[in-house]
Chain A
Amino acid sequence: MDITALKIRDMRTMLDKKEISAAELTDAYLDRIDKTDGSLESYITVTADEAKAAAVKAQQVIDDGNAGVLTGIPLAIKDNICTDGIKTTCASRILENFVPPYNATVMEKLNAEGIVMLGKTSMDEFAMGGSTQTSAFKKTKNPYDQNRVPGGSSGGSAAAVGASLCAAALGSDTGGSIRQPASFCGVTGLKPTYGRVSRYGLVAFASSLDQIGPVAKDAHDCAIILNAISGYDYHDGTSAKLDVPDFTAKIGQDIKGIKIAMPKEFYAEGIDSDVREAVENAAKWYEQQGAVIVECSMPSLKYAVAAYYLIASAEASSNLSRYDGIKYGHRSETGDSYSDLVCNSRSEGFGDEVKRRILLGNYALSSGYYDAYYGKAMALKQKIREEYAEIFKGCDVILTPTAPTVAYGINENISDPAKMYQADICTVTVNIASLPAISTTCGYDKNGMPIGMSIIGKHWDEASVIQAADAYEKQFAYQPAKI
């Protein structure tokens, strides 16, 4: 039996029954990383020594009978989540050697649970991209076909889970960055409601949209991790002062009678027929189980990508201004004046995609253009939220494809940013409306590439999307990546 392919629940049982030790589990993953990650390139940093030490500590806790759900479970962390004393690069040259002196709140919570961190996973630079090919360090491959991209920006996390190089991982989702790579890599990714998980220590891309969430083998494992990382945090003023429910509570409950909406715009032109069919088949399955399919419409979807890129880039242009080479991060060797030094440091430190978005964001916020771009985008944000509110009046969850296509070939889209951006059409509205959504595999195309579907829930109702995804997963013929 390959223990690295197990679900978190099964590992838990084995650890608690002493059928395996935390050290053995950790070593199994480290061995596998050693063997396969040279080509897959899902990790930027593997923290083998720290992981082994954490496993020893975790075993002590297990032996003492104090184990929590995640004690001794080896996880991978996206490299834009700050880890005290461990490099956090955001896959950017500008933070190549940045070692945070503090932990993100989610890390504090996971460490308190006794997890074993295996390392930091690759991503698109500053989470800007959907392919992990804008990473300055590790351009991660898809575990199902290494000539294809793993999606992004949490491509490293999704590929590592898909290739069993960790039990589960944390990603971050600003416009689909957890769900889309989860769908490309045949795993399950959950973007929580905005405010559910503290953003403190998540290196900001677009503050009003960013949210940390789990990438795991299935919805149940996602729920287990979400249980551990959720909750109000004093350090994040936008985190919600709400009690955290048990996100596994609805798992296994009958889905009969739940109303599933399918806004027609998500199934229109631009969505590959393979993808559309797979999601529609999943809808049929739900219907057979007694769910009610509701037809509905989201007229503003056609503007969503434009609105998203304006808002996200505007916030990013401001969030990324702090990388000036003065306090930390890359500093240019040249530049006699302050402005030259900042200019050179940023020109050398940032990749093309990041520069493109900084330019776009600055433009959108410039005096004279603000109303036409940022102002309009904010109005659209309001409109999209209203349309979601309207749809949710008649349903419990919404079902959409996660991405218009399956994973595409490396470098296939990268030269055409507009095409790349348009591929986010299925995911960005969820962030704009601050909603929770999960992506899970609903089928495979003729090449065996996974197809993802997204289940979107009402605000704070992660439990229902987990319930719906789990129900489907339990009967789904999962085909693990052969790696």
Chain B
Amino acid sequence: MSAYIPVIGLEIHAELLTKSKVFCTCSAEFGGDKNTRCCPVCSGMPGTLPIINQTAVEYAVKAGFALGCDINKFSTFDRKNYFYPDLPKAYQISQLYLPLCINGLVPIEFEENGEKKSKNIRINRIHLEEDAGKLIHDDLNGVSLADYNRCGIPLIEIVTEPDIGSAEEAKAFVEKISLLLQYAGVCDCKMEQGSLRCDVNISIMKPTDTEFGTRAEIKNLNSIKAIGRAIDFEIYRQAKLLDMGKRVVQETRRFDDNRGETKSMRSKEDAHDYRYFPEPDILQVNFTDEDLDAIREKLPEMPYKRLERYLADGLNETDAKIIVNKKILSDFFDEAVKTYSNPKSICNFLIGELMRRINLGEIELEKLPFSAEGFAKLVEMADTDKVSKNDAKDVFRTMCEKGGDPEEIAKAAGLLITNDTGKVLEVIEEVLAANDKAVSQFKNGDQKVFGFLMGQCTKALKGVCTPKVIKEELENKLKSI
């Protein structure tokens, strides 16, 4: 096969985390009993009108800021017309001519042939639109049923320039977008639930070509893995066609996850003519500089800021990146540091113990059986010798299995160190009394018996006191005799 350069652009749909839908006041929550989260507006009843949800606009702008976009101070909505049973109005309110955000830039890092690389991907636009409903096909009764709960959930569509050159880059890009949107607080990016979906536009060209090849569009990829596999297959398919002297046809394709292949859905000739025109029911969106500043101020701490903070807190870059690159982990970390403000120590235990158990599959980051507070408490206990470093790992294992408070777990297991000096002195006295022979030996200059006496005390004081304290107290006691 000849060498071709893949040219890839992505369209990413992300559902916004607003409480209500984009053009009515229905709940925008995922799920719900069929057709219980819809009203005359989102089910397309005659005479109803859309009212734009300002929070959705704000979230879209936040996404724009997160992706380094310029925000259009004047933005309009358009209708995209097509018939489909999940689209009750038979048009989708979207933005074609003047989208909210344009000209973004997203840096990505990825590995290629074992080498770490970085690159900037340009964002063409981000626009706000409404989601369609869902069809449920009842093959048994031979009917299709429509559920309109999802109709009108606010979506942003993020469109890249054709800057992506491989499956690895595409995957890294989608992961980065997902991270940025989560940090911006505008999307939960659950691909398996469809809150983040991706279409891939892909063509290939020879290094000597001056124009892009004919592209195919692969619709609705719903996992990072599928994106990578679909791209790799499509590069292979198109290269094979060109190698055989055939042409790539401009068409829409679907990825069959089971076979790992893309299949033709419809050709260019069958493509919809969406007959876009300006939406007359919604007035244009206008922003002042003050409006945009206010939204920018509401943008939460973004990943690169967090990384800077972690490095300033003394974390090493590798660990800091691991934490930052998973928002839920990073939030957990920050929460833990709030309870016990020793970032380095929390980080070490988190990378060493928490991540190990996650990687072993014993626990899931999304469903931890303990709180960040409990986790921090355990790290603090280990640092302040309330439990030995080794015992702390045992306590953590119990927390992973059953949850619970680390102090209570340590206490129940007899691992808690109280450093109760009264108790220590009492035990030392008992030990010395029972070993008067050894005491006189020590007094006579036999330093070796100190080890024996220390051993006796340690045994009797397990879980009560650290060896360091025992040693001090024992030395003092022996001196005073």
A88 to B144, CA, bound (A): 28
Tell me if A455 is interfacial: C-beta within 8 Å of chain B: no
Whether B47 contacts A315 by the Cβ 8 Å rule is: no
Interface 0/1 of A421-455, CB less than 8 Å to B:
00000000000000000000000000000000000
Q: A201: which B residues are within 8 A, CB to CB?
A: 47-48
Q: A75 → chain B, closest Cβ, in Å?
A: 18
Nearest CB to that of B41 among chain A residues? Answer: A235
A322 to B88, CA, bound (A): 6
Q: B40: which A residues are within 8 A, CB to CB?
A: 100-102
Whether B277 contacts A374 by the Cβ 8 Å rule is: yes
Whether A238 contacts B45 by the Cβ 8 Å rule is: no
Whether A365 contacts B283 by the Cβ 8 Å rule is: no
Tell me if A202 is interfacial: C-beta within 8 Å of chain B: yes
A238 to B49, CA, bound (A): 9
Tell me if B90 is interfacial: C-beta within 8 Å of chain A: yes
Which residues of A78-137 are within 8 A (CB) of B?
80-82, 88, 90, 95, 98, 100-102, 104
Given contacts A207-B281, A367-B273, contact A202 B90 (CB under 8 A): no
25 contacts between A and B (CB under 8 A): A98-B46, A100-B40, A100-B45, A100-B46, A101-B40, A104-B47, A199-B49, A203-B46, A203-B47, A204-B46, A204-B281, A236-B51, A237-B50, A237-B281, A238-B49, A238-B282, A318-B79, A321-B91, A323-B46, A362-B275, A365-B81, A365-B276, A365-B277, A366-B273, A374-B277
Contact of A200 among B47, B52, B280 (CB under 8 A): B47
Q: A1 → chain B, closest Cβ, in Å?
A: 39
Given contacts A237-B50, A322-B88, contact A366 B43 (CB under 8 A): no
Q: B49: which A residues are within 8 A, CB to CB?
A: 199-200, 235-238
Contact of A234 among B47, B48, B51, B276 (CB under 8 A): B51
Q: B47: which A residues are within 8 A, CB to CB?
A: 80-82, 88, 100, 104, 199-204
Whether A342 contacts B275 by the Cβ 8 Å rule is: no
Which residues of A265-321 are within 8 A (CB) of B?
314-315, 317-318, 321
Tell me if A324 is interfacial: C-beta within 8 Å of chain B: yes
A374 to B50, CA, bound (A): 23
Q: A413: which B residues are within 8 A, CB to CB?
A: none
Q: B183 → chain A, closest Cβ, in Å?
A: 31
Q: Interface residue tally of chain A, by bracket? A: 35 or more
Nearest CB to that of B86 among chain A residues? Answer: A326
Q: A117 → chain B, closest Cβ, in Å?
A: 16
Given contacts A237-B283, A366-B273, contact A322 B51 (CB under 8 A): no
Whether A82 contacts B281 by the Cβ 8 Å rule is: no
Q: B276: which A residues are within 8 A, CB to CB?
A: 365, 370
Which residues of B143-175 are within 8 A (CB) of A?
144, 146
Given contacts A207-B281, A322-B90, A326-B146, contact A338 B85 (CB under 8 A): yes
Tell me if B377 is interfacial: C-beta within 8 Å of chain A: no
A278 to B76, CA, bound (A): 45
Q: Apart from A321-B90, A322-B90, what are 14 other A-B pairs with CB-CB below 8 Å?
A: A80-B47, A82-B47, A204-B281, A207-B280, A234-B51, A237-B51, A238-B280, A314-B277, A318-B81, A321-B83, A322-B89, A324-B85, A362-B275, A367-B273
A236 to B47, CA, bound (A): 10
A95 to B277, CA, bound (A): 26
Whether A322 contacts B46 by the Cβ 8 Å rule is: yes
A101 to B281, CA, bound (A): 21
Tell me if B228 is interfacial: C-beta within 8 Å of chain A: no
Q: A317: which B residues are within 8 A, CB to CB?
A: 81, 275
Nearest CB to that of B271 among chain A residues? Answer: A367
Whether B91 contacts A82 by the Cβ 8 Å rule is: no
Tell me if A344 is interfacial: C-beta within 8 Å of chain B: no
Inter-chain residue pair count (beta carbon < 8 A): 104
Q: B83: which A residues are within 8 A, CB to CB?
A: 321, 324, 338-339, 342
Whether A328 contacts B277 by the Cβ 8 Å rule is: no
Tell me if A327 is interfacial: C-beta within 8 Å of chain B: yes
A291 to B92, CA, bound (A): 51
Nearest CB to that of A233 among chain B residues? Answer: B49
Q: B94 → chain A, closest Cβ, in Å?
A: 13
A321 to B79, CA, bound (A): 12
Q: A326: which B residues are within 8 A, CB to CB?
A: 85, 88, 146
User: What is the predominant secondary structure among interface residues of chain A facing chain B?
Assistant: loop
Nearest CB to that of B79 among chain A residues? Answer: A318
A367 to B49, CA, bound (A): 26
Tell me if B467 is interfacial: C-beta within 8 Å of chain A: no
Whether A327 contacts B43 by the Cβ 8 Å rule is: yes
| Residue of A101, A201, A237, A314 with highest tally of chain B CB at under 10 A | A237
| Residue of B43, B44, B85, B275 with highest tally of chain A CB at under 10 A | B275
Which residues of B14-52 are within 8 A (CB) of A?
40, 43-52
Whether B48 contacts A318 by the Cβ 8 Å rule is: no
Q: B78 → chain A, closest Cβ, in Å?
A: 10
A104 to B144, CA, bound (A): 32
Nearest CB to that of B45 among chain A residues? Answer: A100
Which residues of B60-75 are within 8 A (CB) of A?
none
Whether A327 contacts B88 by the Cβ 8 Å rule is: yes
- In the A-B complex, the 7 residue pairs with the smallest Cβ-Cβ separation, listed nearest first, are A321-B90, A365-B275, A208-B280, A207-B280, A203-B46, A201-B47, A82-B47
Q: B88: which A residues are within 8 A, CB to CB?
A: 322, 326-327
A234 to B146, CA, bound (A): 29
Q: A304 → chain B, closest Cβ, in Å?
A: 18
Q: A339: which B residues are within 8 A, CB to CB?
A: 83
A100 to B40, CA, bound (A): 9
Q: B326 → chain A, closest Cβ, in Å?
A: 40
Nearest CB to that of A199 among chain B residues? Answer: B49
